[in-house]
Structure 1
Amino acid sequence: MIQLMSVNFDDYIPNWRTQLETLAYNVLVVVREGKVRYEINGEEIIAEKEDVLFIPQAAQRSGGNWNGVPHQKHTILFTLDDQGTTGTGIPFLDAGQCLKFNLSHIQYAYHRCERLYEEMRGGKSYRNMICLGILQELIGMLARELEKTELTPSKRKYADTIKSYLLEHYREPIEIDRLAKLIQRSSNYTAALFKEVYGHSPIRYMHQLRVHEACSLLLQSDMNITHIAHYLGYYDTSYFYRMFKKYTGLSPTDYVHQGDQSDVSMLFT
């Protein structure tokens, strides 16, 4: 039985660090921005943007900002009741080893962490049940990811090269041919490779990045919808409306009226 202890969101904390200690709980770390340095059982581990880190109970851990630069991450602390000889049935939990890996649907994981953090801070009815359900979903996602066929280092490198380019240039027109030239492979291979690694096409990922930023701009800026569309590379505002509704289920106007960015997880399912 999983027992959720606490959920934290470290938002660019200056001089963040944690002293060396033997953990009495398990920790899931989901890094959103920057890098964080840990020493776990005497080994240095650097976790950076889009990395997920599992630190098991009884590990010796210390940590701090990497090179003194603040970062942004979610941390989830939980324990496991005595499972006897059967264990939990989740291999990475039962192995009790530190793991660092990537998720195909990292943006969805970010939003589940956001929802978990907000539910833990609130006092609404059935909070404990909802929080446990979200944590179990995250653990299930991680376990499923680890069951996938191991990717070759070259495939991971190519996919990461494409993803880094998209993260920097998603507001610009994106063509598969251009992405293919980055890794010197064919367009068909490039699109298939990215989908194999991350679970969706490069173009879909570009739209997800654009729509995610649109959600923030709609609620947190004074830009109008046409300006936001153009800023994000949608020079046909009606096309922006269609893409926004496709990924959120709402029109931009309805999203503003709803006025709540706490659960946009449907963007990345």
Structure 2
Amino acid sequence: MKVTSYTYDKSSNWYEESQEGCQDWTLVLVTYGRCVYWIDEKKHVLEKGQWLLIPGGIPYYGRSVPTMLHEKYVMQFVPGAAQESFPLFRQLSAASRITSKYELIVDHLRHIHQQWEDKQPYYQTLCEALLTELFVYLHREWDHEAATSATLQLVENMKLYIQNHYREHVTKDELGACISRSPNYAATLFRKVTGQTISEFVHAARIKTAVYMLKHSALTVTEISDFIGYNDPSYFYRVFRRLTGLVPTDLVSDRETVRK
């Protein structure tokens, strides 16, 4: 796969039109609010957590919902050899679905966007590798039957529990009790639906908070590390770098005025 363009839109008056003839494919994921696309005279209303894949050569246009702010990632790419590997690339019409692996998918898109913007050596190769991995997760959802609404609700209950307790040591026993199921069932279901282990989801929630605090608070790195549940700052550094590609001090240096 070859990424040809990548944007992060945040707007309440966005409009875009693609004429027939552009062979690049387009992948959209909405992260806030909603927007609308018209493809082959069919209306697609996209909301948070919903992705849209538009094959190359298909004309479309899209716009914001009037007066409503929305945010989304939009990537254009050429499938290349991957067209033979992934069934979605053999479709002749647009495909869309709300993903149950939202955190995992948006994490990949953020990472690709960061690489695309920074343009460090070999960034193109890394972007394409991450994009291929992203489509593996999308296809796993696409190929298997959608989970029942009851099952999805169990996972949402576990996610809510984690969001309320991520600063603590969250275990599968606690999540099992949260949904009145066995610990092993809870852990297996969580990974099947979200694509992440419980531990991976907890780390992601902690680092998301850390990023915000590093940019907008006056706390030191050690204080933030302790606040979000890492008693060992060196371990916090390792996890932060693994998930973001940065080190905490990179963000602290950008908010010196806040600390003053």
Question: Do both share a fold (TM > 0.5)?
Answer: yes
Helix, strand or coil: the match of 1:151? coil
Amino acid at match of 1:206: V
Helix, strand or coil: the match of 1:238? coil
Q: Is the 8 A contact 1:41 1:61 kept in 2?
A: yes
Which of 214, 229, 240 matches 2:210?
Answer: 214
Report deviation, 1:7: 0.8
Which residue number in structure 1 is paired with residue 74 of structure 2? Answer: 75
Question: Aligned partners of 1:32, 1:3: CA distance in 2, in Å?
Answer: 23
Question: Aligned partners of 1:214, 1:87: CA distance in 2, in Å?
Answer: 38
What TM-score, normalized by structure 2, do the two folds share?
0.71
Which residue number in structure 2 is paired with residue 266 of structure 1? Answer: none
Which residue number in structure 1 is paired with residue 139 of structure 2? Answer: 143
Amino acid at match of 1:169: N
- The gaps in structure 1 that reach 5 residues or longer are 262-269
Helix, strand or coil: the match of 1:8? strand
Are residue 54 (structure 1) and residue 28 (structure 2) matched? no
Task: Indicate how the Cα distance of structure 1 residues 13 and 187 shifts in structure 2: closer, same or farther if over 3 A, else same.
Answer: same
Are residue 156 (structure 1) and residue 152 (structure 2) matched? yes
Question: Aligned partners of 1:90, 1:54: CA distance in 2, in Å?
Answer: 13
Which residue number in structure 1 is paired with residue 40 of structure 2? Answer: 41
Report deviation, 1:196: 2.3
Question: Aligned partners of 2:124, 2:204: CA distance in 1, in Å?
Answer: 30
Q: CA RMSD in A?
A: 3.8
Helix, strand or coil: the match of 2:77? strand
- The gaps in structure 2 that reach 5 residues or longer are 253-260
What TM-score, normalized by structure 1, do the two folds share?
0.69
Report deviation, 1:227: 4.5
Identity across aligned pairs (percent)? 20
Amino acid at match of 1:46: V
Are residue 238 (structure 1) and residue 231 (structure 2) matched? yes
Q: Is the 8 A contact 1:29 1:54 kept in 2?
A: yes
Task: Indicate how the Cα distance of structure 1 residues 149 and 118 shifts in structure 2: closer, same or farther if over 3 A, else same.
Answer: same
CA shift digits 1:142-167 (9 cap, x unpaired): 3344344542333224323443x257
Which residue number in structure 2 is paired with residue 196 of structure 1? Answer: 192
Q: Is the 8 A contact 2:191 2:198 kept in 1?
A: yes
Q: Is the 8 A contact 1:170 1:210 kept in 2?
A: no
The aligned length equals: 245
Task: Indicate how the Cα distance of structure 1 residues 119 and 57 shifts in structure 2: closer, same or farther if over 3 A, else same.
Answer: same
Are residue 16 (structure 1) and residue 8 (structure 2) matched? no
Question: Aligned partners of 1:58, 1:35: CA distance in 2, in Å?
Answer: 25
Report deviation, 1:204: 4.7
Question: Aligned partners of 1:90, 1:219: CA distance in 2, in Å?
Answer: 39
Question: Aligned partners of 2:53, 2:210: CA distance in 1, in Å?
Answer: 31
